Amino acid sequence: MQTPDITYLLPLFFVGVGAILLMILSTFKNINIKKGAIASLVFLTLAIVSNIYNLNTLGDIYSVYPFSDVFNNMIVVDTYASYFSTILILGGILTILIGLHYFQRRKEFTVEFFSLLLFSVFGMMLLVHANELITAFIALEIASISLYIMIGFEKVIDKRIEASYKYLVLGSLAGVFFLLGSSFIYGATGTTSIGEIGIFVSNNIDSNMSLIILGGTMILITFLFKIAAFPFQNWAIDVYDGASLPVTAFMAATFKAAVFGFILRLVLVDFDLIRDFWDDMFVYIIIFTLAYGSFLAIIQKSLKRMLVSSSIVHTGYLLIAFVSIGVIGENAASSIIFYLVAYFLSALGAFGLIAYISSEDQLRITYDDFRGFSHIRPYMAAMLSVFMLSLAGIPSTIGFIGKFYIFTGAIESGNEILAIVGITATFVSVYYYFKLIAVMYFYRSPEMTDVPPLKGIAPLVIAVIALMIIWGGIGNTLIAYFPGVDFLIDMAKLSYKSLFIL
């Protein structure tokens, strides 16, 4: 049976139309934050349902070019893109649910904020669906520009504007490098379609590839900037620290997944044969990213800045698997996808819970502010501990499984040094993650009463995330016949395969 083309694009359609409708709705006075949040949740839920419907009905592996005569094969819908879209839409939904309490407390947030959030999710989804460099650039800019505004949304706070400004200037500079790289590749191959570049590379592998390599390097610079890897990491702490906490959670968890989603497609399909050229460069980038990120995380006093610095370290772990792709393609690619899910859950939970705690006026910022937190709010402290354990990669959490796949992959592919550096960084990370747990449980501090009690939807969602993290770590062995994390990694392998069917 022939499925109509629009079915493939329904997830994108719902998010895009939802964003535009919310922008119109925000002009009405009687639409308050709560109604706006519910409307955006409805659109995102429709999108995720249609996306999962696609994943279920189109078979294990599929790859189609919807409306190929109109879009000229610029958008591809395959298992890979649908898998990533599910993560991204879920990121949007969880951000709204977790942040709702925070948004309601702050006067500055209006319904437009949700419209921008939907536009941002739309851009990220388009990015993982993009089969063409300029489409990818436009998608990246849709996502980024919405993020610039979301960061600076609370315009009464100077820090927000500064963060927004820094991200805008540096982000557009990084975007220009992406364009320069694509113009080099266009000049060398005469096409910007990802599949056709791959064919060109494999047909002309014996001739001079320098222009394509130069263009690829430019594109990788943008990639390294957007995920905050070593030479381009300085913006990350300021921008993430300046943004309001739900936005930080959204950026750290979702945007990184989207950028990885596109760059994995580009590297696996196009640069498969010339990837060796960058391997040495990446080894140094990884070592410096891990070392510098760990150093930054140790010296931070503010909890938010510590989490942001540690997100640089997690970028380093992801890049370890990125290098291993050359030898063990399928396993490494699926371990990246799995680790993205694991980090996504842990980071969203940690940032979300801190956002919830600090949504009242008095902000809880440094480690010391969390002194004796477990005596006042034992459940919140327990959840925060689960997130810290998962971020540190302690067994029985999903973070451990993610790190396990990455490090075994690195050893299998012969990058023992990277595995050793990564494991050392994990040891170091135990220091700054466990410091919080120790502060919460082993100290007493009487004068803390301004924490919002557990009520509303946000703590419930955070608790579900915490349970998912634990289930992801032990679910498989504990309960027989119960779907565990295996299905995540199996899906990741299928989506890897779907990149290569024509």
Q: Which is nearer to another protein, 300 or 413 (CB)?
A: 300
Question: For the residues of 355-391, what is the DSSP string, one character each?
Answer: HHHTTSSS---BTGGGTTHHHH-HHHHHHHHHHHHHH
Q: Could you tell me the smallest distance in angstroms from the CB atom of residue 123 to another protein?
A: 11
Q: Could you tell me the smallest distance in angstroms from the CB atom of residue 173 to another protein?
A: 6
Buried b / exposed e along 261-292 (16+ C-beta atoms within 10 A): bbbbbbbbbbbeebbeebeeebbebbbbbbbb
Phi and psi dihedrals of 132, rounded to 5?
-160, 140
Does the CA dihedral 291-292-294-298 come out positive or negative?
Answer: positive
Give the angle subtended at the CA of 93 by the CAs of 90 and 96, to the nearest 5°: 145
| CB-count exposure of residue 454 (10 Å: 0-12, 13-18, 19+) | middle
Q: Which is nearer to another protein, 160 or 314 (CB)?
A: 160
For the chain, how long is the longest CA-to-CA vector?
A: 72
Q: Which is nearer to another protein, 48 or 251 (CB)?
A: 251
Q: Which is nearer to another protein, 188 or 458 (CB)?
A: 188
Does the CA dihedral 435-241-362-465 come out positive or negative?
Answer: negative
Q: Could you tell me the smallest distance in angstroms from the CB atom of residue 241 to another protein?
A: 6
Q: Which is nearer to another protein, 289 or 385 (CB)?
A: 289
CA gap 422, 392 in Å, rounded:
12
Q: Could you tell me the smallest distance in angstroms from the CB atom of residue 148 to another protein?
A: 5
Q: Catalog residues that contact another protein under the rule CB under 8 A.
A: 134, 137-138, 141, 145, 148-149, 152, 155, 158-159, 161-166, 168-169, 172-173, 175-176, 179-180, 183, 186-187, 190-192, 234, 237-238, 241-242
Show the 3-state SS of 92-132.
HHHHHHHHHHHHHHCCCCCHHHHHHHHHHHHHHHHHHHECE
Q: Could you tell me the smallest distance in angstroms from the CB atom of residue 240 to another protein?
A: 11
- CA dihedral 452→387→55→100, nearest 10 degrees, is 20
Q: What are the CA-CA distances from residue 303 to residues 291, 353, 369 (Å)?
A: 19, 12, 9
Q: Which is nearer to another protein, 180 or 451 (CB)?
A: 180
Q: Could you tell me the smallest distance in angstroms from the CB atom of residue 45 to another protein?
A: 29
Q: Which is nearer to another protein, 238 or 360 (CB)?
A: 238
CA gap 468, 463 in Å, rounded:
9
Q: Which is nearer to another protein, 143 or 264 (CB)?
A: 143
Q: Which is nearer to another protein, 175 or 216 (CB)?
A: 175
Residue indicated by tokens 């519910």: 38
Beta carbons within 10 angstroms of residue 92's beta carbon: 26
78: left (phi over 0), alpha (psi -120 to 50) or beta: beta
Q: Could you tell me the smallest distance in angstroms from the CB atom of residue 228 to another protein?
A: 12
Beta carbons within 10 angstroms of residue 368's beta carbon: 12
CA gap 470, 468 in Å, rounded:
5
Q: Could you tell me the smallest distance in angstroms from the CB atom of residue 166 to another protein?
A: 8
100 neighbors 246 (Cβ within 8 angstroms): no
Q: Could you tell me the smallest distance in angstroms from the CB atom of residue 376 to another protein?
A: 30
Q: Give me the residues paired with residue 130 across strands.
A: 75
Q: Which is nearer to another protein, 3 or 172 (CB)?
A: 172
Q: Which is nearer to another protein, 124 or 499 (CB)?
A: 124
Q: Could you tell me the smallest distance in angstroms from the CB atom of residue 258 to another protein?
A: 17
Q: Which is nearer to another protein, 161 or 423 (CB)?
A: 161
Question: For the residues of 432-463, what is the DSSP string, one character each?
Answer: HHHHHHHHHHH---S----SPPS-SHHHHHHH
Identity at 338, one-letter amino acid code: F
CA gap 114, 40 in Å, rounded:
7
CA gap 476, 250 in Å, rounded:
29
Q: Which is nearer to another protein, 7 or 183 (CB)?
A: 183
Q: Could you tell me the smallest distance in angstroms from the CB atom of residue 242 to another protein?
A: 6
Q: Could you tell me the smallest distance in angstroms from the CB atom of residue 94 to another protein?
A: 26
Q: Could you tell me the smallest distance in angstroms from the CB atom of residue 200 to another protein?
A: 13
